[in-house]
Amino acid sequence: MAIPVQKVTINGKQYPFHLGIGAMRIVAMKTGQGNYKLTELDKLMEESSMESLGVIVWAGLKSGAAKQEEDFDMSIEDVEEILIEDPPAMDNLLNKTEEAAEEIEDAEEGNQEKGNDES
């Protein structure tokens, strides 16, 4: 199951947002937090500092733009700044991250059950 690209609104502007393997690879490279699987997004979010949260959001926005074949030229600092200006957007993005984690977990459980059925 592919993780859908979601739309998020920050300061009145819509952006595509996608947390998948590419985004998680970026997070691992930028933060050094490389020991997480996609199914552990919730754990990563719980253990992240504010700095890491900015990287996670930035990676999701960057990945979403790439998936939608849109240009993306914001820096991590740009993303952090617009999130400071729009605190409800941060809550919304955290919810989107939790939703993505749940979708990944559901897909993995479905794949495991399917594998067990074929045994």
Q: What is the pTM of this model?
A: 0.74
Range 42-64 average pLDDT: 76
Is residue 14 classed as helix, strand or coil in its secondary structure?
A: strand
In this prediction, residue 116 carries a pLDDT of 55
User: Which of 35-68 are b and which e, b meaning 16 or more Cβ less than 10 Å from the residue's Cβ?
Assistant: ebebebbbebbeebeeebbbbbbbbbbbbbbbbe
Mean pLDDT of 3-27: 85
**In which band, very low, low, confident or very high, does the pLDDT at 62 lie, cut at 50, 70 and 90?**
very high
Which one has a higher pLDDT value, 119 or 50?
A: 50
Distance of CA 99 to the CA centre of its chain: 9
- Highest mean pLDDT among 29-33, 43-47, 106-110 belongs to 29-33
